[in-house]
Structure 1
Amino acid sequence: MSNEWDEYAEGWDIDPSVEVYANKAFAELVKKVNLDALTVLDFGCGTGALTQLISPEVKNIVAIDPSSEMIKCLDKKSLKNVATISDYLSEGIIKKHSRFHDKFDLVVASSVCGFLPSYEETLTLLKSVLKVGGTFIQWDWLAEDDSSSMGLSEARVRQAFESNQFIDIQVTSPFIMESSKGKMSVLMACGKNA
């Protein structure tokens, strides 16, 4: 089954902004979390730009993305502690897939949540795979309000985190990216599973 993101996979890593975004997200991640020996879920991993940076620091990573072509690009990077899944995250996948039998210390989602058909429901699923005390961190384009077709507003993200009963919630805009559309702020949100 083809995915709308498949056509972007081959040229994804060639775009220098992909690496810049991943490097900036990773720099913010290590300010928040000690990665040493953690188990990680990289949700919406794409070709693995962030996965590749996290990999040397952690015990293992499960990287999931519905684009089989993006996953093929990640698999070519031969990261020894990374297991990939080409599928949509769902309750069914969580129940049937052995990689989800143990919960994760950390779940990351880089530039994916703003594209989800149901961000709030997916956040509930992501929290369900986190260990107690585990951390969820996302980066997305910052939208001024919820009418935007691209990105998420701080208010919507904060509300979703609160509704899912995350604790120690922080929503910031730690960096800006240059694009053909001008400067775009990046939202970063993190919370812990109580």
Structure 2
Amino acid sequence: MASHADHIEANKQHFNSTAHTYDDKPLAVQLSRDAADAMREVYDFKEESTVMLDYACGTGLISQNLAPDCKQIVGVDISEKMVEHYNARVANQGIPPEEMRAVCTDLSGKGELEGLLFDVIVCAQAYHHILSIEDVTKNLFSYLKPGGALLVVDLVRGKHAADFHSQASEHVVAHRGGFIESEIRAAFEDAGLGQFEWGIAAEVRSQGRELELFIAKGVKPI
């Protein structure tokens, strides 16, 4: 089994190599739209006040979809190339970095992001790449304001979910088959999140197979 460091490095290399073509994938674009729509259904974004963290932000597809609904967005990703692509697009749009920017980090250190806390943290299609969702969920909890929410969108475990990344190694995809509700609920509750919600975010077709995406929500107690 790969170590935590090996797993992170494998993911970093994988996404560095795919960053330049990621936005050209129609499925990635559609999944981001579906995820953002599902997030709006369960969280009351406020354009004038919501400060959002986009965890494992990639090239910024989720951030771009939710930008009109937020005052400030910070994306984080372990891939330098993904972060470069994210920030280049933001700059090309004339958006100041104070409103939207990405940082290359896994947030494993203390006091990162200059002590900034968030109203909402979103993570789409990334939990299945993470070796320990329990550790990451606890870490994300620490970046939420009291009353803040964590929103996760990912694959529901099913007979075809494992085919979504059929060509990727286990070093890159830790949970090839997706998740069931009890796994996500346990990770959220163990981190200290309450008011757990779970629902189907979207149904998508990939390689001729039907897949389901879930959305999970947890709230940091006040």
TM over 0.5: yes
What letter corresponds to residue 85 of structure 1 in structure 2? V
Among all aligned residue pairs of Structure 1 and Structure 2, give the percentage whose two residues are the same amino acid. 22
1:82 corresponds, among 85, 100, 110, to 100
Q: Secondary structure at the match of 2:24?
A: coil
Cα 1:160–1:96 change in 2 (3 A) is: closer
Bigger strand fraction:
1
Alpha-carbon distance, 1:181 to partner = 5.5
Alpha-carbon distance, 1:148 to partner = 5.2
1:47 corresponds, among 50, 54, 59, to 59
Distance in 2 separating the partners of 1:18 and 1:50:
10
Match of 2:142 in 1: 128
Distance in 2 separating the partners of 1:173 and 1:165:
23
Unaligned runs of 5+ in 1: none
Distance in 2 separating the partners of 1:148 and 1:105:
28
Unaligned runs of 5+ in 2: 1-8, 160-173
Match of 2:35 in 1: 25
1:115 touches 1:150 (CA, 8 Å); kept in 2?
no
Q: Output the aligned Cα RMSD.
A: 1.9
What letter corresponds to residue 194 of structure 2 in structure 1? I
Runs of 4+ residues deviating >3 angstroms: none
Distance in 1 separating the partners of 2:175 and 2:19:
25
Alignment of 1:50-129 (within 5 A): 50-78=62-90, 79-80=95-96, 81-90=99-108, 92=109, 94-98=110-114, 101-129=115-143
Distance in 2 separating the partners of 1:158 and 1:28:
18
2:44 corresponds, among 20, 34, 44, to 34
Q: Secondary structure at the match of 2:89?
A: coil
Alpha-carbon distance, 1:71 to partner = 1.0
Match of 2:185 in 1: 158
Cα 1:148–1:47 change in 2 (3 A) is: closer
Q: Secondary structure at the match of 1:76?
A: helix
1:41 touches 1:106 (CA, 8 Å); kept in 2?
yes
Structure of higher RCO (CA pairs closer than 8 Å, 6+ residues apart) = 2
Alpha-carbon distance, 1:156 to partner = 0.5
Bigger helix fraction:
2
